[in-house]
Amino acid sequence: MFIWLMARYEHTPIFQQTYILTVNVYKATSNFKREYKYTLGQELKQRCHNLLELIVKINAAQDKRVLLGKLNGCLEGLRIHLRLAFDLKVVSGGQLGVLNKQIEEIGKQIGGWQKWAVKN
Domain membership flag for residue 53: yes
pLDDT-derived band at 6 (thresholds 50, 70, 90) equals very low
Q: Count structural domains, the chain.
A: 1
Report the CATH number that the domain containing residue 67 is assigned in CATH. 1.20.1440.60
Domain coverage including residue 39: 14-119
* Angle, CA of 34, 39 and 44, to the nearest 5°: 110
Residue 45 inside a domain? The answer is yes
For the stretch 10-53, pLDDT in tens is 678 999 999 999 999 999 999 999 999 999 999 999 999 999 99
Q: Confirm whether 4 is domain-assigned.
A: no
Residue 56 lies in a domain: yes
Q: Within a 10 A sphere around the Cβ of 71, how many other Cβ atoms?
A: 26
Residue 63: count of CB within 10 angstroms of its CB:
10
